[in-house]
Amino acid sequence: MLKAEEDVVAVQGLRMRYGATEVLRDVTFRIQPGEVLAVLGPNGAGKTTTIEILEGFRMRSAGAVEVLGVDPAYGDEAWRARVGVVLQSWRDHSKWRVRELLAHLGGYYAPYATAAIPRPWDADELIELVGLTGQAEQKLKTLSGGQRRRLDVAIGIVGRPELLFLDEPTTGFDPVARHEFHALVRRLTDELRTTILLTTHDLDEASKLADRVLILSGGRIIASGTPAALTTQIAGASLEDAYLTLVRSSEKGQDR
């Protein structure tokens, strides 16, 4: 487990090039333990590439990256057990039952348990944590959209990750499901000190959940700060107004 003063993620001068196209240019940022960082940006800004590099799924062209004290390009299974990922969608077998699936997946994390972090979550405790106690014996194909998304989160945290990646977590949610999901995220950070990197196009969600916001455009960071600080930067604006102003200004600069 990291000490309080250590960064969970440290990125310095990150660059990524595909042939002659540079999709990330000198990206530098840090994430502290228990922090929620929202990464925003238009399509093609470099968000997905950045996250895949942090997750260890893509090699970078240049720069230094550490996630939980390890270069993710060389992270082993013990390192991966400390990281959770919640994708926009997850392929599964619809005949699995909720408790059965979580118990099965949890078994893969047992060898990486430590005195500080027992792994995995007990299946019933985890089901209660994400609000699926009433659906524990249901088959996945019978779950509602909101219930299915809570199960996605349960899958992502079954190994008690120290760092959790959330990719567009509430796409398709109704207002009630969205509210319940936001409460779950706050519980993960407040009670369990889980560090979260959130990618979303929902600026209201970012404003509510994030301690800090990082805006990417054209492969570089154009703004970083708390939601309140960014809105103050564009006097009297909402986070959405600030985001649109900053991105449009950046795109105009790139066209010159």
Strand 220-225 and strand 212-217: the pairing is antiparallel
* d(C-alpha 36, C-alpha 91), whole Å: 26
| Backbone torsions φ then ψ of 210, nearest 5 degrees | -85, 140
Whole-model pTM over 0.85: yes
Spell out the domain ranges in the chain.
1-82+202-255
Residue 103 has a pLDDT of 96
- Say which CATH superfamily domain 1-82+202-255 falls into: P-loop containing nucleotide triphosphate hydrolases (3.40.50.300)
Q: 150 by DSSP, 3-state: which?
A: helix
Q: Which residues of the chain have pLDDT under 50?
A: 1-4
Report how far apart the first and last C-alpha atoms of the chain are (Å, whole number).
47
CA distances from 188 to 41, 160, 182 (A): 25, 10, 10
Residue 253 has a pLDDT of 62
Residue 2 has a pLDDT of 42
Residue 43 has a pLDDT of 87
Taking each helix axis from N to C terminus, what angle separates 145-157 and 175-192, rounded to the nearest 10 degrees?
Answer: 20
- Contact predicate 39/216, CB 8 Å: yes
- Contact predicate 163/8, CB 8 Å: yes
